Amino acid sequence: MTLPPLPVIRLKPKANARAIRHGAPWVYDNEIVTDRRTKALEPGTIALLEDADRNTLAKVAVNPNSRIFARVLERDLNLPVDQSWLVSKLSYALAMRETLYDAPYYRLVHAEADGLPGVIIDRFGDVAVIQPNAAWAERLVSELCVALQQVTGVAHVLKNASGRARGLEGLDDASAVLAGTAPDGPVPVPMNGAIYMADLTGGQKTGLFFDQRPNHAFAARLARGGRMLDVFSHVGGFSLAALAGGASRALAVDGSGPALTLAREGAAQMGQTDAFETRQGDAFEVMTALLEEAEQFDLVVCDPPAFAPSKKALDAGLRAYERVARLAAPLVKPGGYLGLCSCSHAADLAKFRTASVRGIGRAGRAAQLIHTGFAGPDHPLHPNLAESGYLKSLFFRL
């Protein structure tokens, strides 16, 4: 059976075709010749991308409803984007994770950096959670599920449709069970000696953040034998790792009651109930209250949500990061440690560091920057896509 030819989209003469040839994964809507035929393409259509001289550059996934008009899928024009192609991509991604980790708890696919643009897959033992955040992946989600089970052997596959990225693609927010069944409760996840309880159906994102794994481990060393404060803790990311690493006590602060309930369940699973406390409330208000209570800790870590998710939000986001540092620094004992994190891709490392240092200075504290951390290797960085290197963690001795 001969397949119909793929539709063709073309770059404008002034578009940077060289960037695509050198690995850039995205083509924006203002770089494409958008005639009536091109605009009529169904979101998720696989097409051929040509430069202005009609030289074919790659196979791409098209979405006329998105600012990212085309995402590069395959540069080998002889390879069809089909079930075998998905199996090949997933197998390549799995091989690295199995080299890195002894247990099947990790990010299996990190979108463009793993050759599956817009696709996030997190693995929790026998359960995998897919976020198809691009139209092409939404169209092929059934095939992706089959390939995922074939490659990994997981019995249960969930689709998570939450998040800002799907809205930008014009996709719905309807989550689903793609294979097997959904867990009937939180799933225990071992990491860095701690046990985290992940809500795979009602929690944030896919249920747990694997990206901070190496930073949790570094912070745990700093907390040994001491008392630590984990602000914006979610399910106890830094605090449970600190207890596993030998901290004497830990206090987790978050605005979400359900997240703190999961954190307490994790501490119980670890046998650390007596050493673990939680406080629910606005992080800025809780830090202010702790200052008024003259509390100080051997280690304070602040891991807030993305204060600068876009360039428009950058200035306000940097002010928020500065405020976090200003409130957190006085809570650190002299000679203690402060960890500050940002998951805002719009705030690069230099800007985030400047805001953090300014906040520490405004708090009247002197600091040594002792470590800069990033996401773990299961969240690889696409060399031509700064957005894939979103996570930064700065550790200071005050």
- Mind listing the pLDDT tens digit for each residue in 170-183? 999 999 999 999 99
Q: How far apart are CA 219 and CA 53, in angstroms?
A: 53
What is the value of pTM for the model shown?
0.95
In the chain, the percentage of residues whose pLDDT exceeds 90 is: 92
For 380, other C-beta atoms within 10 Å of its C-beta total 18
Mean pLDDT, range 143-155, rounded to an integer:
98
Query: What's residue 207's pLDDT?
Result: 83
Mean pLDDT, range 82-94, rounded to an integer:
97
Domains of the chain (ranges; CATH) run 8-74 (2.30.130.10), 83-179 (3.30.750.80), 188-397 (3.40.50.150)
**Cβ-contact 276, 304 below 8 angstroms:** no
Angle (deg, nearest 10), helices 237-244 and 257-269: 10
203 confidence band (pLDDT: 50, 70, 90): confident
Q: How far apart are CA 121 and CA 145, in angstroms?
A: 10
Q: Inform me whether the pLDDT recorded for 222 exceeds 70.
A: yes
User: In this predicted model, which residue has the larger pLDDT, 204 or 340?
Assistant: 340
What are the pLDDT digits (tens) for 271-306? 999 999 999 999 999 999 999 999 999 999 999 999
DSSP SS3 for 189: strand
For 152, other C-beta atoms within 10 Å of its C-beta total 21
Provide the pairing of β-strand 68-74 with 105-110. Answer: unpaired
**Cβ-contact 45, 62 below 8 angstroms:** yes
For 176, other C-beta atoms within 10 Å of its C-beta total 12
Q: How far apart are CA 205 and CA 307, in angstroms?
A: 16
Q: How far apart are CA 270 and CA 279, in angstroms?
A: 19
Q: How far apart are CA 231 and CA 222, in angstroms?
A: 16
Q: Which of 234, 168, 233 is nearest to 206 (CA)?
A: 234
| Residue that the structure tokens 């694997």 belong to | 210
Question: Residue 51 contacts by C-beta under 8 Å, 6 or more apart in sequence?
Answer: 10, 11, 15, 17, 20, 57
Q: Which of 398, 335, 387 is nearest to 363 (CA)?
A: 398
What are the pLDDT digits (tens) for 240-276? 999 999 999 999 999 999 999 999 999 999 999 999 9
Query: What's residue 388's pLDDT?
Result: 76
Query: What's residue 297's pLDDT?
Result: 98
Query: What's residue 11's pLDDT?
Result: 97
**Cβ-contact 44, 63 below 8 angstroms:** yes
Q: Inform me whether the pLDDT recorded for 3 exceeds 70.
A: no
DSSP codes joined into one string, 349-365:
HHHHHHHHHHHHHHTT-
Beta bridge mates, 373: 393
**Cβ-contact 258, 198 below 8 angstroms:** no
Give the pair of three-digit tokens for residue 210: 């694997």
Q: Which of 211, 208, 204, 219 is nearest to 340 (CA)?
A: 219
Asked whether the CA dihedral 358, 362, 367, 373 is positive or negative, the reply is negative
| Catalytic machinery residues | 343
The average confidence (pLDDT) of the chain is 95
Give the pair of three-digit tokens for residue 24: 């850039």
**Cβ-contact 188, 81 below 8 angstroms:** no
Q: Inform me whether the pLDDT recorded for 111 exceeds 90.
A: yes
Query: What's residue 2's pLDDT?
Result: 53
For residue 222, CA distances in Å to 227, 242, 278, 339 come to: 10, 8, 20, 10
E strand spans, 155-294: 156-159, 176-179, 187-191, 194-198, 227-231, 249-254, 276-280
Give the pair of three-digit tokens for residue 192: 């860095």
